[in-house]
Chain A
Amino acid sequence: MTETTVASPGSPGGSPDKAPPPGGGHNGLGLARFRDLALVPAILVLIVVGALIEPAFLSADNLTNVLQQQTELSLLVLAEAIILIAGKFDLSLESTVGLAPALGVALVIPAASNGLGTDLPVALGVPICLLIGMLVGAFNALLILRFKLSAFIVTLGMLIVLRGLQIGFTGGQNLFALPESFLYLGNARWLGLPASVWICAVAYAAGIVTLGYFRHGRAVYAIGGNADAARAAGVRTDRVMWTVFVVAGLLAALAGLLMTGRLGSVAAAQGDGMIFTVFAAAVIGGISLDGGKGTLFGALCGVLVLGLINNILTLAGVSAQWIQAIYGGIILIALMLARLTTGKAQD
């Protein structure tokens, strides 16, 4: 590399008064880290409040329960967060949660149990389910990247189409006769914790490491921050985006699989309405809807905050008819608090 020195002693570059001395950089990064941790105090407060309201809250059973109930949501938030950081949208994730396991199940069970009559080998069920998630992601990517359609409208259309497909081929029925393989992940316990919690932990760890410490992960941030600049720096933006959409579809199918196992059936409305909570958790967790900003750890904290609130409301005996309104109100308040603590306008 050719070395060129511009620094002449008499001409300090930039505005020296504005730039902290080298080493002050640790402050800068420390502050960024601090923003990631902004929700940790909120989580602690919620745990204290929960313990005060109901001593049973702190029991290992209840806390495990909170975690397990949030696993499906957290996988969706993981998927959505990566897409949002890359500066795009995906509303169709919630329909994938229903369609992927439903189709996977219907292809392997006999027609008598509401199957499609194809009777594929049962061992193929789970791989098919995950593959469908990836195909949905790839189809979204095709429309958004190749045909340059608006991500919002494309995925809104897909949300409706996928839900409609599921209702169409199941005849609006719930699928009960599930093969053992579909039940395993949602029920198994590994090392004393539900398998789904481990799966989530691994997925988040992989996501955090990839987005934080690998070139291709950083490319997601670069694309969301300024796609033209990323392209100019040699990032293969389309390839990265295809990967992001396919991975998101895969995560949504995995979430559907966990939910199927936990509930023991595939409901016709499985996943219905989850996308709103997904966005709320992501935004509360500091993910910008404009792209390029936020961390997966923050998003995970957003999930935990919402999960704890939900659990506390249930334990506090809030009437089921009111729980939705209160839950929604709390989401709005959390957003306002997030706006106040970060001090910047919400995007």
Chain B
Amino acid sequence: MMSPSAIPAVEARNITKRFGATTALADAGIVIAEGETHALVGRNGAGKSTLVSILTGLQRPDTGEVRFAGQLAPPLADRDGWRRQVACVYQKSTIIPTLSVAENLFLNRQSAGGPINWRSLRSRANELLDQYGVAVDAGRMAGDLDVEQRQLLEIARALSFGARFIILDEPTAQLDGPAIERLFDRMRALREQGVTMMFISHHLEEVYRVCQSVTVFRDARHVLTSAVDDLPHDELVAAMTGEAAAGYQARARTTSTAAPTVLTAEKLTMAGRFQEVDLTVRAGEIVGIAGSGSSGKVGLAEALVGLRVPDSGTVTVNGTRTRPGDVASALRAGLGFVPQDRHKEGFVPLLSIGENATMPIAHKLGRFGAVSPSRRRARAEKMIEDLAIKTTGPAQPVQDLSGGNAQKVVMARALADDPTALVVIDPTAGVDVRAKQALLGAVEDAAERGAGAVLVSDELDDLRICDRVVVMFHGRIVKEVPRGWADAELVAVMEGVDAR
């Protein structure tokens, strides 16, 4: 790989950064060797994002210095200077949906001066896209691209400035399995070209797959840097959480076939998403739904709770047929759910934890439409305790919480009315190890109380808590496996390699 004496491609040393009273980074740092793919991991709030903004020149550290290939980083005002050193694919897309692909690629440098020649801009863009093997036409509107294509666009744009160091900030969070594979292939190809990368992810198995070394941050401090091969999974998790913690252990549980059915879908069909899906969930049972991004699994779950209107078929909750596309009727029948995108359907960011979590049961907290603040407070405090939500109290707005804690509020809302049927979609997306355990534990607790749950997830690890997993492929359920399945078996069906 490289000799130890070589000058590292990137080094940030003794970085301290404070925001008011909070210390985001305390004497932390990272050293990345030329040509390696280096993982940066840590729980939410460990200081990863702050390091990214310091390494990309968006923020100035209070103390400490950043060097690229031994040279001090350019001054903050010299954006072009920074861009020649480091490129970043941020978590939040920086693609402008209302402009064409070509214009996004050459934003603010459409012409050397004088009027823009759109034809030549488009051909320059197509050249650039060809060069990086991105099969997207430059004339399209960027808003029409899918998440994966947008990300490739960002990578191509980042590299086009001539930077040899790229930061990828949770690039896999929004991609499905095959797209992640393609991204990894691309990362490996880039590495062969000698590009240095810093890779941030909550999914530790990804770190093992594409990275050579890893740096762990915890509570604003650097904890360790190690070659990936020398660091077993358990030790990595322990370094992140500060305690020895294994992956989530699914609990043993037996479900009786005599248990009553709590949630049924019959011949549920929605054109282009899923066809003729039958699903039965019994009390005390957790049923997993696996499948690729195009399998229709999320659409199906959303149809179960009423967020989508199916074309035909019925959904029955506790013996009551719910009205298609009517969330309220599903809730009344005893259903609780965690939506896929917590920011969109999960919570109202400006409202307090208490108000968000008790929203479905507001009518039970007072009479004649009034909501008793003290009763709401009491309920919320109990929820905060049950789910171990890290907060200053029930009055704190949800927007101030970290991703994992915000997701716990969404889970609390789902469980507020003690539902007999629970539908949970991607509950662990973008949350850290410990929050993940609390969230999966909450689903198992609900099942032990006698609720029947549907768990949709891209994470095979999450699905370990399920009593059985059904696999969807192109809108149909193609296989059902009982507890104890092997990863390879499930993935093969998900990718359509073994559909029988």
> What is the interface of chain A, defined by CB distance below 8 A to chain B?
1-8, 11-16, 18-22, 24-29, 32, 209, 212-215, 218-219, 221-222, 224-226, 228-230, 232-235, 288, 292-293
Contacts and interface: CB of A to CB of B under 8 A. Distances in A.
A226 B96 contact: yes
A6 B137 contact: no
Contact of B185 (A11, A24, A218, A219): A11
Contacts of B388: none
B123 to A, nearest CB: 9
A214 B116 contact: yes
Nearest to B94: A229
A288 to B, nearest CB: 8
Contact of B126 (A14, A15, A22, A225): A22
A134 to B, nearest CB: 26
Interface string B179-196: 000100110011001010
B189 A233 contact: no
A24 B159 CA distance: 25
The 5 A-B pairs with the shortest beta carbon distances in the complex, nearest first, are: A25-B139, A7-B133, A225-B96, A229-B94, A292-B98
A226 B94 contact: yes
Given A14-B136, A25-B126, A218-B116, 11 more contacts: A3-B131, A5-B193, A6-B190, A13-B133, A22-B126, A25-B140, A28-B139, A225-B97, A226-B95, A230-B107, A233-B94
Interface string B109-138: 111000110100010001000111111111
Contact of B159 (A4, A14, A218, A226): A4
Nearest to A22: B126
Nearest to A212: B116
Contacts of A2: 162, 164
B307 to A, nearest CB: 17
14 contacts: A2-B164, A3-B131, A6-B132, A14-B136, A21-B137, A26-B139, A214-B115, A215-B109, A215-B111, A218-B107, A221-B96, A225-B96, A229-B93, A234-B108
Contacts of B161: 1
A21 B136 CA distance: 8
B372 to A, nearest CB: 34
B103 interface: yes
Most chain A beta-carbon neighbours within 10 Å: one of B79, B80, B97, B136 = B136
Interface string B135-170: 111111100001011001000000111101000000
A307 to B, nearest CB: 28
A20 B137 contact: yes
B92 interface: yes
Contact of B116 (A7, A29, A213, A293): A213
Contacts of A226: 94-97
Query: Main secondary structure on chain A at its contact with chain B?
Result: loop
A8 B116 contact: no
A215 B193 CA distance: 33
A13 B152 contact: yes
A215 B116 contact: yes
B391 interface: no
A294 B80 CA distance: 30
Most chain B beta-carbon neighbours within 10 Å: one of A6, A20, A233 = A6
B99 interface: yes
A287 to B, nearest CB: 12
B100 interface: yes
Interface string B252-294: 0000000000000000000000000000000000000000000
Most chain B beta-carbon neighbours within 10 Å: one of A1, A19, A20, A25 = A25
A71 to B, nearest CB: 27
A12 B132 CA distance: 10
A22 B130 CA distance: 10
Contacts of B186: 6, 11, 13
B97 A13 contact: no
B135 A14 contact: yes
A218 B152 CA distance: 23
B159 to A, nearest CB: 6
B340 to A, nearest CB: 21
Contacts of A12: 133, 135
Contact of B135 (A16, A25, A26, A292): A16
A228 B94 contact: yes
Nearest to A228: B94
Contacts of A224: 98
Contact of A28 (B134, B140, B162): B140
A222 B133 contact: no
Contacts of B103: 218
Contacts of B159: 4
